[in-house]
Amino acid sequence: AQSVTQLDSQVPVFEEAPVELRCNYSSSVSVYLFWYVQYPNQGLQLLLKYLSGSTLVKGINGFEAEFNKSQTSFHLRKPSVHISDTAEYFCAVANSGGYQKVTFGIGTKLQVIP
């Protein structure tokens, strides 16, 4: 069975500083990986996804993530955060060749400090 671990429940960071939100997954087969963002009292919105190909994936709002198969990680990064990036971020994994549904992590709250 697949699983995903988000190592930090909350990440405070000053405005214009870089940030990394960590995500590790567990799966015995090839995977698809996703990062979603949720603003307060709203649904989730896809930031980026890895299906195959280049391990560096660029998404919306200046975010990017790198797929590292040997470390089973898919960390999310942004070089300079803005107040508007304050939100909750969810990592998710799915087996690329199977019929199992997507599994979500528990979420990381990013708090950008002015």
Partner 1 sequence: DGGITQSPKYLFRKEGQNVTLSCEQNLNHDAMYWYRQDPGQGLRLIYYSQIVNDFQKGDIAEGYSVSREKKESFPLTVTSAQKNPTAFYLCASSEGLRNEQFFGPGTRLTVL
Q: Is 32 in the site for partner 1 (CB under 8 A)?
A: yes
Q: Which position among 3, 17, 20, 46 is part of the footprint of partner 1 (CB under 8 A)?
A: 46
CB of 55 closer than 8 Å to CB of 48: no
Q: What contacts 3, CB < 8 A, 6 or more positions away?
A: 25, 26, 27, 93, 103
Q: Is 96 in the site for partner 1 (CB under 8 A)?
A: yes
Closest CA to 85 of 9, 4, 21, 23: 21
DSSP single-letter state for residue 49: E
Question: Smallest distance from the beta carbon of 85 to partner 1, in angstroms?
Answer: 19
Taking the least distance from each CB to partner 1, the nearer of 37 and 81 is 37
101/111 Cα distance (integer angstroms)? 30
Q: Is 12 in the site for partner 1 (CB under 8 A)?
A: no
Question: Which pair of structure tokens corresponds to residue 47?
Answer: 């930031």
Q: Is 80 in the site for partner 1 (CB under 8 A)?
A: no
Q: Which position among 71, 98, 111, 113 is part of the footprint of partner 1 (CB under 8 A)?
A: 98
Residues at the site binding partner 1, with contacts judged by CB under 8 A: 9, 32, 34, 36, 41-46, 49, 90, 92, 94-96, 98-102, 104-107
